[in-house]
Amino acid sequence: MGRDHRQTTLSASGGVDELEDINWTFEGTDTQYLTHGLHNYPARMVPKIPDTLLGHYKDQGIIEEGDLVYDPFSGSGTTAVEGRLHGLNAEGNDINPFAVMLSEAKAIPLERGSLSEARDALVDGLSPDLLDVRDEYEQAGEVEWLEMPDVRDGWFPEPQLHELAVLRDRIDTIEDKFGTEYARFFRLVLSHTTRKTSYQRNGEYKRYRLSEEDRTDHNPDVEAIFKKKLKQNMEKMREYSNRVDHTLDTTIHYSDSRTAVEDVGENKADIVITSPPYGDHQTTVAYGQFSQDPALLTGKVTYDEMKDVDKTGLGGRYDILESMSDLEDYSPTLEATLDTLREKDGRADDAVDFFRDYYAVMEQVGEITKSGQPVAWVVANRTMSRVNIPTHLITRELCESLGYEFDMNLPREIPNKTLPWENAPENVEGTKGDLMANENIVILRAP
């Protein structure tokens, strides 16, 4: 359905239903409400984006309660949470096992009564246990009965690392008694505590260690951090649990969206809302590095699995696809971009790898989504070798070559971020316009 066919009417809720009239920047909006605030994650989508899109398409009768929203790059599960808040089932993929855990923990509501019972069981006798393990460590230099997590030496203060391991074992006991869903909820609290306890600098997604001097002063109170976050998260989960339908389904596959049809199936999704990675896992936004220690501390993920995350990401080192020489034929903008990169001796090959992988996902999403239903790609326009990559135009053209029908492009700014292209004057000719926006929401209808 093209632009001209859409009607401009007031929605049932009285809101404007012309998507172009909305300011998609959502500056100052709360991004931590309900379970969105359970744990942070790199490059999260602003919850207002899926919220507004889902509300709009429901008002228009294009989707309805009980339908399925799909996200091939689930990340922290923003789409899945908003899906449930709008009465939808949700499915997703992610190659980061920590993201899978996070998405499910945030989107699947827990029963209030059982949650309080499980919490009581978890904290009962916790303080003396933590004291005991610290004492034993300080006296003997090791605690024989405690299995230590497989984290790199020198990234944690040792006494506190022992306390984290005790918490991990207690949560395993909760799993036996209350089930995985409850244990997973507590594992997020542990994971937050792990980040705060480690020498990894907070506020950075790559692994940087505190300076030696700062490490000496770093003496975190594990129990206090854990209990404070536990209280906050319990409150958020209770509120979420009250608001949503507990009979809906959320399934996040721990698998590659380049082959997602295998897991998800064809012709299933009624709507897709996703934000793909930028293709810079190894450099800027390292999802795997961010999650490594928190994931290892849960005891449910191995070091090898975490090591692979940034390599399996789109454009990463693990190719599962043949390189495609004709990709450029499908997108004039991609061709122009690659020509510019080649002239500048830039990273044309990296860009080709990334778009080849991304194209594979577009193909899979096309099969997973019911024909004519909306697919929204929230994409950032990054620079490579100081060349602007107009990802929104390339997304549109590649999708159109697969039979998608373009619907609209909604530009948005990312508040409080330096624009990467402010220092990169070289533009690919003919691709100005929305390039000035930080991000674009490209909406197409599935083939």
With tokens 């449930």, the residue in question is 84
Tell me the three state secondary structure of residue 383: strand
Shortest CB 78 distance to ligand SAM, Å = 3
Q: Does 24 bind ligand SAM (CB under 6 A)?
A: no
- How many residues belong to the site for ligand SAM (CB under 6 A)? 22
Shortest CB 207 distance to ligand SAM, Å = 16
* 108 CB-near residues (< 8 Å, 6+ apart): 181, 250
Selected from 83, 97, 294, 313, the binder of ligand SAM by CB under 6 A is 313
**Separation of alpha carbons 357 and 21, rounded Å:** 33
Residue (260 or 428) nearer to ligand SAM, CB: 260
Closest CA to 361 of 258, 221, 235, 244: 258
Shortest CB 447 distance to ligand SAM, Å = 21
Phi first, then psi: give them for residue 443, nearest 5 degrees: -110, 125
Decide: 376 and 442 in contact? Cβ < 8 Å: yes
Q: Does 75 bind ligand SAM (CB under 6 A)?
A: yes
Phi first, then psi: give them for residue 40, nearest 5 degrees: -90, 170
Question: Interaction with ligand SAM in 198-257: which residues (CB under 6 A)?
Answer: 256-257
Shortest CB 96 distance to ligand SAM, Å = 4
Q: Where are the alpha helices (DSSP H) in 198-221?
A: 212-217
Q: Which residue stretch of 18-26, 94-102, 210-218, 397-405 sits at the interface with ligand SAM (rule: CB under 6 A)?
A: 94-102
Q: Does 41 bind ligand SAM (CB under 6 A)?
A: yes
With tokens 């093209």, the residue in question is 2
Phi first, then psi: give them for residue 441, nearest 5 degrees: -105, 110
Shortest CB 332 distance to ligand SAM, Å = 26
Please give the DSSP secondary-structure letter assigned to residue 379.
Answer: E
Shortest CB 382 distance to ligand SAM, Å = 12
Decide: 333 and 397 in contact? Cβ < 8 Å: yes
Residue (287 or 421) nearer to ligand SAM, CB: 287
**What Å distances lie between residue 307 and 114, 150, 320, CA to CA?**
35, 12, 17
Q: Does 186 bind ligand SAM (CB under 6 A)?
A: no
Give the helix/strand (H/E) hosting 273: strand 271-274
Shortest CB 99 distance to ligand SAM, Å = 4
Decide: 81 and 53 in contact? Cβ < 8 Å: no
Selected from 34, 45, 286, 297, the binder of ligand SAM by CB under 6 A is 45
Residue (106 or 396) nearer to ligand SAM, CB: 106
Nearest residue to ligand SAM on Cβ basis:
75
Shortest CB 333 distance to ligand SAM, Å = 21
Residue (67 or 439) nearer to ligand SAM, CB: 439
Q: Does 78 bind ligand SAM (CB under 6 A)?
A: yes
Residue (168 or 187) nearer to ligand SAM, CB: 187
Tell me the three state secondary structure of residue 119: helix
Rg (CA), the chain: 23
Shortest CB 441 distance to ligand SAM, Å = 12
The tokens of 152 are what? 């790199």
Helices (H) and strands (E) in the chain, counts: 16, 9
With tokens 């008002």, the residue in question is 59
Q: Which residue stretch of 23-31, 36-44, 399-407, 424-432 sits at the interface with ligand SAM (rule: CB under 6 A)?
A: 36-44
Selected from 83, 97, 109, 277, the binder of ligand SAM by CB under 6 A is 277
Selected from 56, 258, 382, 445, the binder of ligand SAM by CB under 6 A is 258
Decide: 244 and 85 in contact? Cβ < 8 Å: yes
Q: Which residue stretch of 132-140, 186-194, 310-318, 369-377 sits at the interface with ligand SAM (rule: CB under 6 A)?
A: 310-318
Decide: 273 and 53 in contact? Cβ < 8 Å: yes
Q: Does 95 bind ligand SAM (CB under 6 A)?
A: yes
Shortest CB 76 distance to ligand SAM, Å = 3
Decide: 59 and 17 in contact? Cβ < 8 Å: yes
Q: Does 379 bind ligand SAM (CB under 6 A)?
A: no
- Residues in the site for ligand SAM, rule: CB under 6 A? 41, 43-45, 73, 75-76, 78, 93-96, 99, 256-258, 275, 277, 287, 312-314
